[in-house]
A and B are shown apart, each in its own frame.
Chain A
Amino acid sequence: MSRIDRIFADARAEGRKLLMPFVVGGRPSIDAFGDVLRGAERAGASIIEVGIPFSDPIADGPVIAQAMDRAIRDGVTPAKVFDAVHAARDSLSAGLVAMVSYSVVRRWGGDAEFAARAAQAGFDGLIVPDLPVEESAELQAAASDAGLSLAMLVGPTTEPERAARIVEASTGFVYVLARAGVTGEGGQMPEMAARIADLRELTSLPIAVGFGVSSAAHVRGVVQTADAAIVGSALVRRAEAGESVEQVVGELAGGLA
């Protein structure tokens, strides 16, 4: 059982819902990144998504894309993020999931090599947003060999038969996109209950909802039906503006109560 599976299983047993904040690897600096992770955990994060900076993140909106661009300009590389995660791993009990573009996976010697290095660094799972289910078999096998989960994404307009294939191919949890488009802050949260109920028919995996989840109120709405809420752009925007990740995550975690 991977750490991700265990975290969700424990939460289910105790009737708890989870907050999964997204942070950009190496922000605000590679040296401070371990503290960011520890702060997020202290404030109530059960699983932390670490975005591996990439020059052309087409799934990401302007807030995350800019933060990644700043990281790259500061000399942050995927390898440095992995090292920082490795150094912080023992001080953390939260699950750590790398969110990474397939370009980086390919460049690091391909699926098996990348999965092995991610596991060595102390990651518990992967999300590769630009790897559709048709292309995912090899990475799924590699992740599984390395003891990592690979959560796949289901969009708001994904056809039901396709959603069935996606959840079938997922491990750890299923990442449900609240809305179409890129990551960003959404204003109104769309109604998720019916979509989540449909997905529950297809899978017993935990369901995490992200894209547009921006406030404690959104988190509260999402976890009515989902197992976890993922907050990305809203957190990254405030962190980039100088607020502490710990404080913002603490505020968002208010939505779990």
Chain B
Amino acid sequence: MTTDTAAPATPEEAPPRRLSEWPDERGRYGPYGGVYVPETLIPALHQLEEAFAATSGDENFWQRLRALLNDFGGRPTPLYHAERLERGIRRAAPKEHGAEIWLKREDLLHTGAHKLNNTLGQALLTKKMGKRRVIAETGAGQHGVATATAAAHFGLECTVYMGAEDARRQRLNVIRMELMGAEVVQVEAGSRTLKDATNEAMRDWMGSYETTHYILGSVVGPHPFPMIVREFQRIIGIETKAQCLRKLERLPECVVACVGGGSNAIGIFHPFIEDIDTKLIGVEAGGRSPSPGDHAAPLSLGSPGVLHGSMSYVMQDEHGQTLDAHSCSAGLDYPGVGPEHSFWKDSGRVVYEVADDTEALRAFQALAREEGIIPALETSHAIAAAMRIAPTMPKEAAIVVCCSGRGDKDVDEAARLLAERRN
């Protein structure tokens, strides 16, 4: 078992491209990304790439999506100053320290997480491609719910693959998906979590792509998925920037987001990527411990490899077998991560840290008690990191945390975990 951080896969000379200008024509972010899929998926990926490229001059498409995000989704989401949480942090911080904490409220988006930004975009693309069915993988169930929601809105058939273990811990979301007419297929293979659900969704798509679009839920998978999901999630960062200029009259000193596959983080980071005075911090799930199999932190503790169609940091053993991931949060419980994050990590532009189960649960309780906001357990990892970073920064500084989702789905699991810890 190893957790080495070997050199990147193919150390090609990077062309003089700005960080905001990736991927290249081969779908690569430096040495990461690309397309590692069976030949039967290539026509589907080419078709998707063409359909997405065609939206770039299509005002109509983006206007329709924008209207849908506003009127159906509830955008723009607020940027909220979490003053009571901030005051608590300042009391324990060194003098004149304790940065302001602002929350980008993606938890207020319809269905309760940022995932809807992507699923509405991809569902609109599905209609454009003339397909009638969508499939998705889901971990926490938030992406599955957001896909079922978009499918119901557009009248598309919908099948969602979900690991049996996740279906247990996120039962509420299974019920929501079924209410909206989606078929939920519980996956019993492997670790019975997100990785295995993703395998099944890819297998379905190989046989079905002529009528079916695969709505991938994060910035992972083969090109063009990481790029498409990023483009649909960038709205988070675009709004955040404008809101900061209005409310703070400057850009924030720091932006923090949790990283599972990395879509909420990419969404909020990407518009800031050339603003080098804004520190960007991604937070992976530290799980139970840094031992292999105990966490979900491929960027911090894994090494470059291939999983689900692209090259990126991944948790793997010395034989190239993917290791099981563990996190208290089903949405972060994934052994891989988006290729652009791998590239950003190596470039040093984004710093990736870890928050473990215990810290996340503490942050979950703190935000609920101090602010009346129950965050998703995924989001709680970002809150935990912000609570750790804020006391090290002067109080004039501002941290924006991507509040990627709300925690209703997690209350049973959190109560169980907290009770376990009390005993």
**Which of chain B's residues 197-216 have a Cβ closer than 8 Å to chain A?**
199, 202-203, 206-210
Chain A residue with the shortest CB-CB distance to B207 = A181
Q: Which of B37, B189, B316 contacts A69 (CB 8 A)?
A: B189
Q: Which of B34, B40, B322 contacts A103 (CB 8 A)?
A: B322
A106 touches B203 (CB 8 A): no
B309 touches A180 (CB 8 A): no
CA distance A134 to B305 in the complex (A): 18
The digit string for A52-91, where 1 denotes a CB below 8 A from any CB of B, is: 0011101101100110010010000111000000000000
CA distance A62 to B189 in the complex (A): 9
Q: What are the residues of chain B within 8 A of A138 when measuring CB–CB? A: 10
The digit string for A125-168, where 1 denotes a CB below 8 A from any CB of B, is: 00001111011001000000000000011111111001000100
**Which of chain B's residues 19-52 have a Cβ closer than 8 Å to chain A?**
26, 34-40, 42-43
The digit string for B228-256, where 1 denotes a CB below 8 A from any CB of A, is: 00000000000000000000000000000
A155-B40 contact in complex given A56-B195, A72-B321, A103-B322, C-beta closer than 8 Å? yes
A106-B38 contact in complex given A69-B190, A78-B320, C-beta closer than 8 Å? no
B320 touches A107 (CB 8 A): yes
A132 touches B35 (CB 8 A): yes
Which one of B26, B42, B199, B311 has the highest number of Cβ atoms from chain A below 10 Å of its Cβ?
Answer: B42
A102-B319 contact in complex given A56-B199, A56-B308, A69-B190, C-beta closer than 8 Å? no
Q: What are the residues of chain A within 8 A of B319 when measuring CB–CB? A: 77-79, 104, 107
Contact size class for A? 35 or more
Chain A residue with the shortest CB-CB distance to B46 = A159
**Which of chain B's residues 265-307 have a Cβ closer than 8 Å to chain A?**
304-307
A180 touches B40 (CB 8 A): yes
Q: In whole Å, how far is B286's beta carbon from the nearest beta carbon of chain A?
A: 22
Q: In whole Å, how far is B322's beta carbon from the nearest beta carbon of chain A?
A: 5
A103 touches B306 (CB 8 A): yes
**Which of chain A's residues 8-36 have a Cβ closer than 8 Å to chain B?**
none
Q: Determine whether B9 belongs to the interface, using a CB cutoff of 8 Å to chain A.
A: yes
Q: Which of A103, A152, A153, A157 contacts B43 (CB 8 A)?
A: A157
CA distance A181 to B200 in the complex (A): 11
Q: Determine whether B59 belongs to the interface, using a CB cutoff of 8 Å to chain A.
A: no
Q: Determine whether A208 belongs to the interface, using a CB cutoff of 8 Å to chain B.
A: no
A177-B203 contact in complex given A69-B190, A72-B321, A78-B319, C-beta closer than 8 Å? no
Q: Which of A55, A58, A104 contacts B202 (CB 8 A)?
A: A58
Q: Determine whether A101 belongs to the interface, using a CB cutoff of 8 Å to chain B.
A: yes
B190 touches A58 (CB 8 A): no
The digit string for B38-79, where 1 denotes a CB below 8 A from any CB of A, is: 111011000000000000000000000000000000000000
Q: In whole Å, how far is B165's beta carbon from the nearest beta carbon of chain A?
A: 16
CA distance A83 to B195 in the complex (A): 30
Q: Determine whether A182 belongs to the interface, using a CB cutoff of 8 Å to chain B.
A: yes
Q: Determine whether B318 belongs to the interface, using a CB cutoff of 8 Å to chain A.
A: yes
CA distance A107 to B307 in the complex (A): 12
Q: What are the residues of chain B within 8 A of A55 when measuring CB–CB? A: 190, 321-322
A56 touches B35 (CB 8 A): no
Q: What are the residues of chain A within 8 A of B35 when measuring CB–CB? A: 132, 134-135
A107 touches B322 (CB 8 A): no
A106 touches B306 (CB 8 A): yes
B26 touches A134 (CB 8 A): yes
CA distance A54 to B202 in the complex (A): 16
Q: What are the residues of chain A within 8 A of B10 when measuring CB–CB? A: 138
CA distance A27 to B40 in the complex (A): 27
The digit string for A38-59, where 1 denotes a CB below 8 A from any CB of B, is: 0000000000000000111011
A-B contacts, 11 listed (Cβ < 8 Å): A54-B320, A58-B308, A59-B38, A59-B206, A72-B321, A106-B304, A107-B316, A130-B38, A132-B39, A162-B42, A182-B206
Interface of B toward A, CB cutoff 8 Å: 9-10, 26, 34-40, 42-43, 189-190, 195, 199, 202-203, 206-210, 304-309, 311, 314, 316, 318-322
Which 10 pairs, one residue from A and one from B, show the smallest C-beta to C-beta distance? Answer: A107-B320, A181-B207, A104-B320, A59-B38, A103-B306, A155-B40, A153-B39, A55-B321, A155-B39, A55-B322
Can you name 8 extra interface pairs (CB under 8 A) apart from A58-B308, A107-B318? A56-B195, A56-B322, A104-B319, A107-B320, A155-B40, A156-B40, A180-B207, A181-B40
